[in-house]
Structures are given as structure tokens and as C-alpha cells.
């Protein structure tokens, strides 16, 4: 029986409110979870830039969907077509600068920009017509992301059904997408189909997306979630508590090297050492086939206070030096398979990546 229709995201992550000329982008403030469910309204590109930077909205696909709507915000001020196109050009580069690693961000803004350029070069439709078109394209990206999550889930579900325990890192769940997540999609579908299993959620230092977000959303769905600190993962693997590891990705190079939240690489190494399959789940929009391998992926560095003052109190001596890369790259040879909306890439190598993604 297909139970996919019963699976819904536990909360609305983002939504457009209003029309193309005066609407706003409403974002769930993920910095406040799990304590509070509160929304912020973005009325201009600057507010959205700040929200992306501060991780109010985060996770590669959700950032992409939000940035698509950001282009609609960027088009609300101009009085004529040339001014509107200039605003869009500026907004695209500006939004791209908010977070460098997740390629879904530039994928989405470029998609909306290309649509606008093509329309502006065609029969005259005026600023109002172009604004409507921007919103249509942003809505299309939003709806497509929901479908991509479901497609990934259909490929991942049979793998989850074989497991009594699954380990995941960071949040590649509903909160990171417009749908039921990437790494979590197969978990939701397997659970809805009656399979019972336990999900170990790496806490994910320093900002705790695993415990604050993944454990929270899995519990909303009634899935058995267990929070561990990142440093416990190797022990959990050696104990045989999990039969697969699955994570998301922020950018995947042509050879299958995959960037994801810092700590993913060490998890993949530990999984290999214990012969546990390590899967990456991601939509086609997370692939960057313009780069040969992971060495070309830009890695975001964040402020050291995320390490020294996480959640309100000093946990390191005042004035200490820090190094805070937000992502790392897992080499393709540690990845058992990449589960995409277009099929499963296995083994992971350039020929196979191009064969599935194009």
C-alpha cells in the first residue's frame, strides 16, 4: 500500500504571503527551535540575506526556495523594466553572498533570473507581468522541492526498511526543505508504512541542528529519535546499533565528493571502519557539475563565538583563538551511494554521477 500521501512535513518552514507586488516571505525562525515556533516576515532582500546568514532558514534546499522568493522581493521596488532587471541582477549576487557552500542558493536565484531575462527579451509584458512571472517561478521551485523530497524518499525507503537503527548528522529533514527532507524522506516513508526503527541523531556541534531540529521533527512524526553527541557516533557504530548512516549534502561535485555539515566526513570515516553503509541523499539541484571534485567547493567559515559562546554562556577562555568551518567534504570513495530524486548513484564516481544527473 502506498502510504506516501499520509506523510506531511511537521511544520511550515516558509511561505509566500500576498501577491507578487506587495507580498512577503514568512520564515519559521529555526534559531528558536525546539523551544518556540515563531515566524519572521521578510519584506526586502536585506532582511532575507540576514535571515539566511543567521540560519533562521537553513538547509540547502530550503535556502534555495527562500532565495527564489527573495528574487520576487527584489523586484517589488522598480518603476520600469530596465530598473527591475538591474535590481534582479544585484539581488542575485547579493543573495549568493549570504552562504557560499549550499549550491541550491545560486541554482535558485539563477533560475529565476534566467526566466526574467528571457521574458524581458520577449514580447513586452510590463513590470507587473514580470513580477507575476517571478512569483510563478519561485512557487514552481517551491513545489518542485516538495516533489524532489518525495522522489528521494521512494528510493531510500527500501534501504531504511532493512534497518533497526539509522544514524544521521545535522538536519537534512523537513526543516531543511520545502517537503519531507532529503535524508529523512525515506525515514518518514518507512515509518508511515509501519516499519519501526530507531534514529540516532548526532547533536551536531556547534549549532546543534541534530538535537534541536532533527530529533524534534522526528518526534513530531512519532519516530523513535535518540540524541547522541557527535563524539559518540563511532562508539554507536562499533556497538552495531545502526545498519546505515544517511546524511544530506550542500554541494556535490562531478566526481561525487559531497560537502555537508562539519562532522560528516569523520562520520563517513567511522562508518567505513565499521563496514556500515554511508548514504548521501540530495536532489539534482545540489549537484554542481561545473566542478571536478570537492577541493573546489567553497567552505563557509563562521564566527568563533558559535564555538565559544554556544547558546548563551562561555565554554572557552575569553580571547581564545578559534577555527570554525561550517562544512566539510566527504570523498566519494567513502560514500556507498548517493540517493537522488532521479535514481541511486552507486558506485559513486564521475561516470555514474553524470549518468544519473546529466
Q: How far apart are CA 358 and CA 354, in angstroms?
A: 5
Residue whose CB is less far from ligand MRU, 76 or 247: 247
Residue whose CB is less far from ligand MRU, 109 or 135: 109
Pairing of β 14-17 and β 24-28: antiparallel
Residue whose CB is less far from ligand MRU, 52 or 85: 52
Q: Minimal distance in Å, beta carbon 252 to ligand MRU?
A: 11
Q: How far apart are CA 163 and CA 241, in angstroms?
A: 10
Residue among 77, 276, 28 nearest 175 (CA): 28
Residue whose CB is less far from ligand MRU, 130 or 281: 281
> Any bridge partners for residue 284, and if so which?
none
Q: How far apart are CA 51 and CA 45, in angstroms?
A: 10
Closest residue to ligand MRU using C-beta atoms: 248
> Is the peptide bond preceding residue 228 cis, with omega within 30 degrees of 0?
no
Helix axes 45-53, 81-96, angle to 10 degrees: 10
Q: Minimal distance in Å, beta carbon 76 to ligand MRU?
A: 26
Residue whose CB is less far from ligand MRU, 165 or 206: 206
Let me know if 136 is a catalytic residue: no
Of the candidates 250, 257, 288, 341, the residue annotated as catalytic is 250
Q: How far apart are CA 143 and CA 157, in angstroms?
A: 21
**Alpha-carbon distance values, 288 to 115, 147, 152, 236, 347 (Å):** 20, 20, 18, 33, 18
Q: Minimal distance in Å, beta carbon 210 to ligand MRU?
A: 10
Q: Minimal distance in Å, beta carbon 177 to ligand MRU?
A: 5
Which residues of this protein are in contact with ligand MRU, per CB under 6 A? 55, 58-61, 102, 170, 172, 176-177, 182, 209, 247-250, 260-261, 326
Q: Minimal distance in Å, beta carbon 262 to ligand MRU?
A: 8
Catalytic residue positions? 250
Amino acid at each position: 500500500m502506498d502510504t506516501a500521501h499520509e506523510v506531511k512535513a511537521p511544520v511550515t518552514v516558509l511561505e509566500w504571503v500576498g501577491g507578487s507586488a506587495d507580498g512577503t516571505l514568512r520564515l519559521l525562525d529555526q534559531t528558536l527551535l525546539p523551544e518556540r515556533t515563531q515566524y519572521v516576515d521578510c519584506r526586502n532582500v536585506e532582511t532575507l540575506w540576514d535571515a539566511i546568514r543567521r540560519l533562521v532558514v537553513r538547509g540547502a534546499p530550503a535556502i534555495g526556495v527562500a532565495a527564489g522568493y527573495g528574487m520576487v522581493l527584489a523586484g517589488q521596488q522598480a518603476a520600469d523594466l530596465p530598473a527591475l532587471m538591474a535590481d534582479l541582477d544585484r539581488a542575485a549576487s547579493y543573495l549568493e553572498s549570504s552562504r557560499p557552500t549550499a549550491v541550491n542558493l545560486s541554482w535558485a536565484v539563477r533560475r529565476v533570473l534566467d526566466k526574467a531575462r528571457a521574458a524581458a527579451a520577449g514580447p513586452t509584458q510590463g513590470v507587473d507581468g514580470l513580477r507575476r512571472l517571478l512569483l510563478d517561478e519561485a512557487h514552481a521551485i517551491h513545489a518542485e522541492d516538495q516533489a524532489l523530497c518525495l522522489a528521494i524518499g521512494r528510493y531510500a525507503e527500501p534501504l531504511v526498511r532493512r534497518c533497526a537503527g539509522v544514524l544521521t548528522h545535522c538536519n537534512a529533514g523537513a526543516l531543511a526543505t520545502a517537503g519531507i527532507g532529503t535524508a529523512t524522506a525515506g525515514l518518514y516513508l518507512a515509518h508511515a508504512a509501519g516499519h519501526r526503527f530507531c534514529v540516532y541523531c548526532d547533536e551536531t556541534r556547534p549549532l546543534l541542528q541534530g538535537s534541536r531540529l532533527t530529533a524534534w521533527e522526528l518526534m513530531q512524526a512519532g519516530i523513535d529519535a535518540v540524541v547522541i553527541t557527535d563524539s559518540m557516533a563511532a562508539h554507536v557504530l562499533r556497538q552495531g546499533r545502526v545498519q546505515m548512516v544517511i546524511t544530506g549534502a550542500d554541494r556535490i561535485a562531478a566526481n561525487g565528493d559531497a560537502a555537508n555539515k562539519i562532522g560528516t566526513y569523520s562520520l563517513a570515516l567511522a562508518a567505513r571502519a565499521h563496514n556500515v553503509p554511508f548514504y548521501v541523499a540530495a536532489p539534482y539541484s545540489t549537484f554542481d557539475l561545473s566542478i571536478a571534485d570537492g577541493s573546489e567547493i567553497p567552505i563557509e567559515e563562521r564566527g568563533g563565538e558559535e564555538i565559544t559562546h554556544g547558546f548563551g554562556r562561555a565554554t572557552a577562555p575569553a580571547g581564545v583563538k578559534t577555527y570554525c568551518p561550517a562544512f566539510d567534504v566527504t570523498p566519494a570513495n567513502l560514500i556507498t551511494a548517493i540517493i537522488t530524486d532521479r535514481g541511486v548513484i552507486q558506485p559513486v564516481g564521475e561516470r555514474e554521477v553524470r549518468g544519473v544527473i546529466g
